[in-house]
Chains A and B, each alone.
Chain A
Amino acid sequence: MNSAGEKVQLADPVPVQLLKADGTLVEHPVFSRYVQDLSEQQLLGLYRHMALERRFDAEATSLQRQGQLALWVPALGQEAAQVGTIAALEPTDRVFPTYREHAMALYRGISAEQLMATFRAARHTGWDPHEFNFNGYAIVLASQVLHAAGWAMGIKQDAAAGHLDRDRPEDEIVLTCLGDGASSQGDVHESMVFASSYQLPMLYFIQNNHWAISVPLETQSRAPLAHRAAGYGFEGIRVDGNDVLASYAVAKHMAEQIRGGSGPKLVEAVTYRMGAHTTADDPTKYRTADEVQAWQAKDPVARYRSWLEAEGLLDQAYAEQVDQEAAQLAADLRTAVHSMEPIGLERVFDTVYAEPHRQVETEKAWLKDYEAGFAEDEGQSVG
């Protein structure tokens, strides 16, 4: 445990890398052993999860372009950072995602239908956060970082009280996701202060995808984001987020220490958002094709697949099996989206407070009356 005044090393600005962009392995004194511990099945699983999410993501983007979803948030390009990190955690570790953690959500067993319910406006959140230890997507970014600190404080309090909640493991840790954009928000500062002060079991996982919508990273920060951790008195590290093995190993290493009582840690995964910020965004307006192309060459899925193939771990049959599973996942998604009905607005009012509330009831009545005002005119052209 750090004590106040103890010097924390600044993260190496060169991200940890175990797999180069050309798919060859690099030795690392600290992190290579975590990869060596992985079974063949686990190694293939990392590939499978990345490939599934990529297909899922493409289908969701198409569905949005076909008018079936108001919005979609592509995770294209960030599969390795997400899959590697979530694979390094225990299923009981609580995750506080942004709205782009599709690979993590699918990894935890959340179905296509559950994941899509929010984007289809069929549910506020499509899954039970307690069932999957995976919170609802945070639409107001950076709020999840505070929620995570709160949850971690709860873990601390549970421990102080002697672990009265027997349903939860004693060494639970919290993963909170955020992006380079959210890192500039005040909420993150508050969360980190509390995490450090109370030595909370938290892993801050920043996916630095280089663009906060249209604001480039250089505007967000003049130093590596991982360096910020040192200012709060805990360790930060940079990892190649397009390298699933390094993402796994670094997260595993950090999680072990946090579980052992080290207090919070920060991982900055250096990656790139290959698609638009959301389907309502046009990235060609603010970034160059050259930049995108340069990152295309570092594609996380292709890189990992070529290594697996070179090692003789992945054969054609397995690749096809994954493709089929991915096609089925996409088909399930399409079916699910078409069958989902939007949630009634009434339900939105009903879930604000646990008990009836005068103002909410008034607003609900107002809206009902307002909506009814359109009904008499049904069928008439407005032009």
Chain B
Amino acid sequence: MSQTFNLPDVGEGLTEAEIVSWKVAPGDTVAVNDVICEIETAKSLVELPVPYAGTVEELVAEEGETIEVGQPLIRIGAAEGAEEPADRPVSGAPPEGASSSSSESQQQGGQERTPTATDDEQAALVGSGPKADAPKARTRTRPTSLDLVEVPGLEPEGVTARTQGLPGGEFAADIVQRASPPVRALAKRLGVAVWELVGSGRNGQITRDDVERRAKQKEAQREAGGVPASGSPGQLGLLYEGPREEKIQVRGVRKATALNVAASASTVPHVSVFKEIDVTRTMELRSALRESQEYQGLSVSPLLFAAKAIIWAARRNPQVNASWHDTHYTLHNYVNLGVAAATPRGLVVPVIHDAHTYNTRGLAAAITALTTDARDGKTTPAQMQGGTVSITSIGSLGLDFGTPILPPGQASIVMLGAVRTKPWVVDGQVVPRQIVTVGGSFDHRLIDGDLAGAFISDIAAVLEQPGLLLD
């Protein structure tokens, strides 16, 4: 038989706690008051002692998980044949003034530790033990008659004074003042946003009728709109199954990205330019390379040609491949090409070091390896260091153009959109051609619009006429 220990309120009026660490694992034997886990509440870090002895059957919540008070925390299987700990609340250990049952069993030859007696003790434990911490919150369905409030001295001034200091500020205080707990509970149950209601009660109080009226309105709207019926998230006033507000901890790649882009966007004045170009010839070359034996198993994407084009254009426009340091700037006589990749962990920008030293096939191999590593989450921190210029291929997301944020320390990032077949005018004739938008963002402290334009135009020239790479 197993017993469940629900998360208790270890402070005064706490509603939830995060499981920081488990001190036990399934299969472990625990005694009453053994520490099973550490939890963090809004107030403190607390070690929880277990109220039952036995074997850990299940840890219901995971480390890092936040659970509500009253939710199951751990299940403990009763210790079989184990000796009762002295401090276990058993009927065999009565307070002084000894019970008659224990003296009776002593008269039967000291048999009080027979299996039967033990069973009885456990049965008694079930009866008198903690009642599984059932949440005691109840919903209220009836309004309280208001005339009772007219007793002098019972006006809600006290409530006002107390609630104005609530963490939610005036907003929360206002709601607390205008809607009583039963009304708020009803609103929550019916999925009505109580703060949007105008109270029809005394002093603008939101009444039960106000809530029910809004719930009916919503129901009518739903029916008119043909929204799926009962039990759907829509009926709960939500977009999808889940809590109304959910707090997600920021960590890992998300955190690093946030810090980087915030620093970059707030310190570097970005300027962006774009150009829509005809890349039909590049796409023809791509098809040819794809069929070539040499490129077997390698990714031959528009990104490969763009990378080649960037290296070519950087040679002609040294100042785009540079770093700004306020009092000076550094020109890089090499290209460490950062390639932005969307991975399951988030955005990472691995770098192909000395990309200018690769031939086309080598570059294709490098891009293939790098994007595979990135998607598998194997990119090492070293692989993300030292970029001098970057490219982001948002075409793979089906997008045409965007304004990327510069990676820290770089002055240029090139953006490549999706290649689409579009009507294009060639020699006075409208013909279908393969079109892409190429552009990027630049550090305006170092790169003016004319230089950015020259750089993008050079990239465009290569992509329009890949034969230029033959020089």
A contact residues vs B (CB 8 Å cutoff): 58-59, 62-68, 70-71, 111-113, 276, 279-282, 284-285, 324, 327-328, 330-332, 334-336, 338-339, 359, 362-363, 365-366, 369-370, 372-378, 380, 382-383
Contacts and interface: CB of A to CB of B under 8 A. Distances in A.
Closest 3 A-B residue pairs measured CB to CB? A67-B8, A282-B44, A373-B142
A65 B11 contact: no
A374 B144 CA distance: 11
Contact of B130 (A66, A276, A363): A66
A362 B148 contact: yes
Nearest to A66: B51
Interface in B130-157: 130, 133, 137-145, 148-149, 151, 153-154
Contacts of A284: 44-45
A281 B142 contact: no
A366 B147 CA distance: 10
Given A332-B95, A362-B148, A372-B142, A281 B48 contact: no
B455 interface: no
Interface in B250-305: none
A67 B133 contact: yes
Nearest to B135: A382
15 contacts: A65-B48, A68-B8, A276-B44, A282-B45, A327-B87, A334-B88, A335-B95, A335-B128, A359-B154, A369-B142, A372-B142, A373-B182, A374-B141, A377-B138, A378-B138
Contact of A376 (B49, B129, B141): B141
A333 to B, nearest CB: 9
Contacts of A331: 86-89, 93
Contacts of A377: 138-141
Given A335-B95, A373-B143, A380-B139, 12 more contacts: A59-B33, A59-B87, A68-B51, A284-B45, A331-B88, A334-B87, A335-B89, A336-B95, A359-B154, A366-B149, A369-B145, A370-B144
B185 interface: yes
B447 interface: no
B12 interface: yes
B188 A382 contact: yes
Contacts of A380: 139, 189
Nearest to B48: A65
Nearest to A327: B86
Contacts of A285: 44
A67 B130 contact: yes
Given A66-B51, A282-B45, A328 B93 contact: yes
Contacts of B162: none
B55 interface: no
B451 interface: no
A259 B43 CA distance: 46
Given A66-B5, A280-B11, A328-B86, A382 B185 contact: yes
A62 B8 contact: no
A380 B133 CA distance: 17
Contact of A363 (B49, B90, B154, B188): B154
A162 B5 CA distance: 61
B79 interface: no
A59 B89 CA distance: 12
A282 B9 CA distance: 14
B189 A383 contact: yes
A63 B94 CA distance: 18
Nearest to A362: B151
* Residues of A contacting B: mostly: helix
Given A281-B44, A362-B148, A338 B128 contact: yes
B10 interface: yes
Contacts of B46: 65, 282
A200 B40 CA distance: 49
Interface residues of B, number: 50
B434 interface: no
B130 A62 contact: no
Most B C-beta atoms less than 10 A away, residue of A62, A336, A365, A378: A62
B6 interface: yes
Most B C-beta atoms less than 10 A away, residue of A58, A70, A280, A328: A280
Contacts of A366: 144, 148-149
A334 B45 CA distance: 24
B130 A338 contact: yes
A51 B61 CA distance: 37
Given A281-B43, A328-B86, A366-B148, A373 B10 contact: no
Interface string B166-186: 000000000000000010010
A382 B139 contact: yes
Contacts of A363: 151, 154
A284 B10 CA distance: 16
A70 B89 CA distance: 19
Nearest to A382: B139
Interface string B77-114: 00000000011111001111000000000000000000
B47 interface: yes
A64 B8 CA distance: 8
Contact of B95 (A63, A113, A365): A113
A226 B221 CA distance: 73
A129 B155 CA distance: 36
Contact of A330 (B9, B49, B87, B188): B87
Given A359-B153, A362-B151, A373-B142, A68 B95 contact: no
A111 B129 CA distance: 20
Contacts of A63: 51
A369 B144 contact: yes
Nearest to A337: B89
Contact of B138 (A70, A113, A330, A374): A374
A374 B182 contact: yes
B43 A280 contact: yes
Interface string B434-466: 000000000000000000000000000000000
A338 B89 contact: yes
Contact of B43 (A66, A282, A327, A373): A282
Contacts of A112: 95
Most B C-beta atoms less than 10 A away, residue of A64, A66, A370, A376: A66
